[in-house]
Protein backbone atom coordinates (compact mmCIF):
# COMPACT_ATOMS: atom_id res chain seq x y z
CA UNK A 1 0.00 0.00 0.00
CA UNK A 2 1.18 3.50 -0.75
CA UNK A 3 -0.40 6.89 -0.40
CA UNK A 4 0.42 10.54 -0.16
CA UNK A 5 -0.48 10.91 3.50
CA UNK A 6 -1.83 9.09 6.48
CA UNK A 7 -2.99 9.93 10.00
CA UNK A 8 -1.36 7.22 12.10
CA UNK A 9 -4.09 7.12 14.75
CA UNK A 10 -7.02 7.51 12.37
CA UNK A 11 -8.60 4.47 14.05
CA UNK A 12 -9.24 6.61 17.15
CA UNK A 13 -11.29 9.02 15.03
CA UNK A 14 -13.12 6.13 13.37
CA UNK A 15 -14.03 4.60 16.74
CA UNK A 16 -15.75 7.78 17.95
CA UNK A 17 -17.53 8.30 14.62
CA UNK A 18 -18.63 4.66 14.46
CA UNK A 19 -20.05 4.87 17.99
CA UNK A 20 -22.00 7.95 16.88
CA UNK A 21 -23.56 5.98 14.02
CA UNK A 22 -21.37 7.25 11.18
CA UNK A 23 -20.86 4.65 8.46
CA UNK A 24 -17.11 4.16 7.96
CA UNK A 25 -16.12 3.64 4.31
CA UNK A 26 -12.68 3.05 2.82
CA UNK A 27 -13.00 4.63 -0.64
CA UNK A 28 -9.67 3.19 -1.80
CA UNK A 29 -11.34 -0.24 -1.73
CA UNK A 30 -14.07 0.88 -4.16
CA UNK A 31 -13.98 1.43 -7.89
CA UNK A 32 -14.32 5.03 -9.06
CA UNK A 33 -17.87 4.34 -10.27
CA UNK A 34 -18.81 2.87 -6.88
CA UNK A 35 -17.30 5.88 -5.12
CA UNK A 36 -19.52 8.18 -7.21
CA UNK A 37 -22.58 6.02 -6.52
CA UNK A 38 -21.86 6.06 -2.81
CA UNK A 39 -21.30 9.80 -2.68
CA UNK A 40 -24.43 10.41 -4.78
CA UNK A 41 -26.51 8.46 -2.29
CA UNK A 42 -25.41 10.60 0.66
CA UNK A 43 -26.50 14.14 1.43
CA UNK A 44 -23.77 14.65 4.03
CA UNK A 45 -20.20 13.44 3.56
CA UNK A 46 -17.38 13.46 6.08
CA UNK A 47 -13.79 12.54 5.41
CA UNK A 48 -10.17 13.50 5.61
CA UNK A 49 -8.65 15.53 2.81
CA UNK A 50 -7.80 13.23 -0.07
CA UNK A 51 -8.59 12.24 -3.62
CA UNK A 52 -11.99 10.80 -2.69
CA UNK A 53 -13.37 14.28 -2.08
CA UNK A 54 -12.47 15.30 -5.64
CA UNK A 55 -15.28 12.98 -6.77
CA UNK A 56 -17.80 15.37 -5.22
CA UNK A 57 -17.69 17.34 -8.48
CA UNK A 58 -19.94 14.58 -9.89
CA UNK A 59 -22.32 14.78 -6.92
CA UNK A 60 -23.62 18.35 -6.67
CA UNK A 61 -25.16 20.01 -3.66
CA UNK A 62 -23.55 17.88 -0.96
CA UNK A 63 -22.77 18.99 2.56
CA UNK A 64 -19.13 18.08 3.16
CA UNK A 65 -17.10 18.18 6.36
CA UNK A 66 -13.41 17.64 5.71
CA UNK A 67 -10.64 16.96 8.19
CA UNK A 68 -8.03 19.18 6.59
CA UNK A 69 -4.46 18.07 7.25
CA UNK A 70 -2.90 21.47 6.50
CA UNK A 71 -3.80 24.98 7.59
CA UNK A 72 -4.40 25.96 3.96
CA UNK A 73 -7.37 24.61 2.04
CA UNK A 74 -6.32 23.04 -1.25
CA UNK A 75 -7.70 25.30 -3.98
CA UNK A 76 -8.89 22.24 -5.92
CA UNK A 77 -11.46 21.60 -3.19
CA UNK A 78 -12.66 25.20 -3.31
CA UNK A 79 -13.01 25.07 -7.10
CA UNK A 80 -14.90 21.78 -6.94
CA UNK A 81 -17.19 23.12 -4.20
CA UNK A 82 -17.98 26.16 -6.31
CA UNK A 83 -18.67 24.17 -9.47
CA UNK A 84 -20.74 21.50 -7.72
CA UNK A 85 -22.59 23.84 -5.37
CA UNK A 86 -21.33 21.96 -2.33
CA UNK A 87 -21.44 23.47 1.14
CA UNK A 88 -18.16 22.47 2.73
CA UNK A 89 -16.43 22.98 6.04
CA UNK A 90 -12.69 22.38 6.31
CA UNK A 91 -11.50 21.66 9.83
CA UNK A 92 -7.80 21.90 10.64
CA UNK A 93 -6.88 20.73 14.16
CA UNK A 94 -3.93 22.90 15.30
CA UNK A 95 -2.50 20.06 17.41
CA UNK A 96 -1.89 17.95 14.28
CA UNK A 97 1.73 16.79 14.21
CA UNK A 98 3.81 15.84 11.17
CA UNK A 99 5.97 12.75 11.82
CA UNK A 100 9.07 11.38 10.14
CA UNK A 101 8.60 9.92 6.69
CA UNK A 102 7.84 6.22 6.41
CA UNK A 103 8.11 3.92 3.40
CA UNK A 104 5.07 4.14 1.09
CA UNK A 105 3.83 7.45 2.54
CA UNK A 106 4.89 10.97 1.67
CA UNK A 107 3.58 12.39 4.94
CA UNK A 108 2.58 10.84 8.26
CA UNK A 109 0.55 12.78 10.77
CA UNK A 110 -0.56 12.19 14.34
CA UNK A 111 -3.47 13.75 16.25
CA UNK A 112 -2.82 13.79 20.02
CA UNK A 113 -6.48 14.68 20.61
CA UNK A 114 -8.03 12.43 17.95
CA UNK A 115 -11.20 11.64 19.92
CA UNK A 116 -11.87 15.33 20.52
CA UNK A 117 -11.31 16.07 16.83
CA UNK A 118 -13.84 13.37 15.92
CA UNK A 119 -16.42 14.98 18.21
CA UNK A 120 -15.68 18.39 16.66
CA UNK A 121 -16.25 16.88 13.21
CA UNK A 122 -19.62 15.50 14.38
CA UNK A 123 -20.66 18.94 15.60
CA UNK A 124 -19.67 20.49 12.27
CA UNK A 125 -21.64 18.02 10.14
CA UNK A 126 -24.86 18.38 12.15
What does the pLDDT look like over 85-99, one tens digit per residue? 999 999 999 999 988
Total domains in the fold of the chain: 1
Is 50 exceeded by the pLDDT of residue 2?
Answer: no
pLDDT at residue 4, as a whole number: 66
7 in Cβ contact with 105 (< 8 Å): no
Q: Which domain holds residue 92?
A: 3-125
Residue 3 pLDDT grade (very low, low, confident, very high; cuts 50, 70, 90) = low
65 in Cβ contact with 124 (< 8 Å): yes
Q: Map residue 61 onto helix, strand or coil.
A: coil
What does the pLDDT look like over 25-34, one tens digit per residue? 999 899 999 9
Q: What average pLDDT is seen over the chain? A: 91
Residue 1 pLDDT grade (very low, low, confident, very high; cuts 50, 70, 90) = very low
- Exposure pattern of 107-119 as b/e (b: 16+ CB <10 Å)? eebebeebeebbe
pTM comes to 0.87
Residue 125 pLDDT grade (very low, low, confident, very high; cuts 50, 70, 90) = very high
Amino acid sequence: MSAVGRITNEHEIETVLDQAGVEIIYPETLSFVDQIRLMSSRERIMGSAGSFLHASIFCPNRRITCLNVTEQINTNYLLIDGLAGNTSTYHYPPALQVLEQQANFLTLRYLPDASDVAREMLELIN
